[in-house]
Amino acid sequence: MKTLSRNDLLSLVEITDHHLVSAYMPMLTGVDGRQNSIRIKNLLARAEEALIKTGIKPVRARQMIAATSELLAPQMLGQQTGPGIAVFLSDGEPLVYRLPFACDEVCRVGRQFYIIPALRWLRCDAPYYVLAVSQNQVRFFRGTRDEIEQVSVPDMPADRDAAVRFDDADPGLQAHSARPYLGRIKEGMAFHGHGGAPDAAKDFIAEYFREIDRALSGILRQASEPLVFVGVDYLFPIYQEANTYAHLLPTPVTGNPELSSPDELRQRAWQLVEETVRENREAELAKFGNRISQGRTKNGLEEILIAAEAGAVETLFIDPTVRRSGTFDPERLTVSVDDEPQDDSEDLMNLVATLVLRNGGAVESLETGRVPGGGEAAAILRYPFSAVPETSSASVSK
């Protein structure tokens, strides 16, 4: 069972239909874990009933639920170690994910998959890269708060010796790596030649790092995630000089990475990335204030929905605890918010978040009271945008 990732979430928001099922369930552990199979069966029974209420034929509803039987068999659930599980059903293949976050039990049927629970987690998570370098080894990872995986990089030198062409170097200068003894943190290098050994050592390492940077450029060319350097302290300034990636964090994880497992690297790297996540969120909130005078902000769910449909929202701020039921007509640009949920209603907070992500915007899920302006939703716009075009007679109703 795959763990839900940011990329999975971005794929989910691209799917639209009238009968999309989203089911979230917290997993019990220990002796209570034996109840998980019955609990997910009961949750999907609720989903089947909800599908039938939307007008789908009972036989088709049963088929959609039955398609999950193999993925949600008791033996599969027994192997599930995350705090939660999510099931997403459409006319295509069922999608089942392990959740890296705790969740409430939820079952929703609508035109969009219900992503609000994942947005709360996304607020506290962020993808990043880790470059773990010693003179004897190079490893490159992609990580999140809870997971890390090693990434194969074409043309990446395996170690310092593989990167430096000694045959082309000054024949009067030879170098060898004094490999660390088990448990040592520092790496040693000894040089023999005609003097200038410290400068020569730095030149060899700098060339090594330039080779690494060239190899990474193919993967990082379109990226914007933070890159965390892991290595002994004297290597980082040399790597900073060789680096061309704009999002290298200014603070490294120090120590010999050869002595650390991938999960240990994840834990130490996340301590740095988490602070960056907080700083970026505060910067986005400050940007909202700066954009007000430029006419590039919106407060109010109705106007933000229309702007999101047009792709004008750069960053959406929402309070995920708020629910607003209603309908949105993207052709007439009308929004109706219900006093009480109706049969044809959808979750407008979920819809606006889906539209923003679908159009390449960002969504910040904030604690109650932290949304700019004090309301339920706010947005930074890519450009000044009129919620109702002058050529349209559309209205916004409530």
Q: What is the CATH number of the domain that holds 354?
A: 3.30.1330.30
Listed residues 280, 311, 340: the one ending a domain: 280
Instruction: Select the more confidently predicted residue: 348 or 166.
Output: 348
Q: How far is CA 243 from CA 51, 206, 229, 236, 345, in A?
A: 53, 10, 11, 10, 52
CB 307 within 8 A of CB 354: no
Listed residues 114, 144, 177: the one ending a domain: 114
Q: Are residues 134 and 110 in the same domain?
A: no
Beta-bridged to residue 316, according to DSSP, are 363, 379
Q: Are residues 138 and 241 in the same domain?
A: yes
- Give the 3-state secondary structure of residue 128: strand
Q: Are residues 326 and 264 in the same domain?
A: no
pLDDT digits (tens, 9 = 90+) for 43-84: 999 999 999 988 899 999 999 999 988 778 776 676 666 788
Lowest model confidence (mean pLDDT) among 44-53, 265-274, 297-306, 327-336: 327-336
> Please, which pLDDT band fits residue 201 given cuts at 50, 70 and 90?
confident
| Pairing between β-strand 227-231 and β-strand 253-254 as defined by DSSP bridges | parallel
Residue by residue, DSSP assigns 230-274 as: EE-TTTHHHHHHH---TTB-SSPEES-GGGS-HHHHHHHHHHHHH
Q: What is the CATH number of the domain that holds 255?
A: 3.30.420
Q: 63 CB contacts (<8 Å, ≥6 apart)?
A: none
pLDDT digits (tens, 9 = 90+) for 258-274: 999 999 999 999 999 99
**217 belongs to a structural domain:** yes
pLDDT at 345: 83
Between CA 95 and CA 22 the distance in angstroms is 10
- 31 has a pLDDT exceeding 50: yes
pLDDT at 390: 35
Q: Are residues 330 and 269 in the same domain?
A: no
Between CA 203 and CA 233 the distance in angstroms is 17
**395 belongs to a structural domain:** no
- Give the 3-state secondary structure of residue 310: coil
Q: Are residues 203 and 179 in the same domain?
A: yes
CA distance between the termini of the chain: 43
Q: Are residues 44 and 156 in the same domain?
A: no
Q: How far is CA 211 from CA 4, 103, 158, 159, in A?
A: 34, 44, 10, 10
**265 belongs to a structural domain:** yes
Beta-bridged to residue 150, according to DSSP, are 141
**67 belongs to a structural domain:** yes
Q: What is the CATH number of the domain that holds 102?
A: 3.30.960.10
Listed residues 253, 280, 307: the one ending a domain: 280
Range of the domain at 272: 128-280
Between CA 353 and CA 133 the distance in angstroms is 39
- 168 has a pLDDT exceeding 60: no
Of 230, 250, 234, the residue nearest 186 (C-alpha): 234
Between CA 200 and CA 204 the distance in angstroms is 6
User: How many independent structural domains does the chain possess?
Assistant: 3
**397 belongs to a structural domain:** no
**227 belongs to a structural domain:** yes
Q: ∠ CA(332), CA(328), CA(288), 5° rounding?
A: 100
Q: Return the H-helix or E-strand segment holding 285.
A: helix 262-291
Q: Are residues 310 and 238 in the same domain?
A: no
Q: Are residues 273 and 136 in the same domain?
A: yes
| Tokens, residue 350 | 């979920």
Instruction: Select the more confidently predicted residue: 273 or 158.
Output: 273
Average pLDDT over residues 322-343: 85
pLDDT at 108: 93
| Tokens, residue 269 | 């790297």
Q: Are residues 81 and 162 in the same domain?
A: no
**392 belongs to a structural domain:** no
pLDDT at 389: 39
Instruction: Select the more confidently predicted residue: 180 or 323.
Output: 323
Q: Are residues 136 and 96 in the same domain?
A: no
CB 216 within 8 A of CB 131: yes
Q: Are residues 324 and 269 in the same domain?
A: no
Residue by residue, DSSP assigns 7-23 as: HHHHHHTT---S-EEEE
pLDDT digits (tens, 9 = 90+) for 114-143: 999 998 777 667 789 999 998 889 999 998
CB 53 within 8 A of CB 344: no
Between CA 161 and CA 233 the distance in angstroms is 20
Query: Do you know the residue count of the chain?
Result: 398
Q: Are residues 78 and 157 in the same domain?
A: no
Instruction: Select the more confidently predicted residue: 100 or 326.
Output: 326
**305 belongs to a structural domain:** yes
Average pLDDT over residues 153-165: 76
- 32 has a pLDDT exceeding 80: no
Q: 370 CB contacts (<8 Å, ≥6 apart)?
A: 285, 317, 319
Between CA 328 and CA 346 the distance in angstroms is 9
Between CA 244 and CA 147 the distance in angstroms is 26
- Give the 3-state secondary structure of residue 26: strand
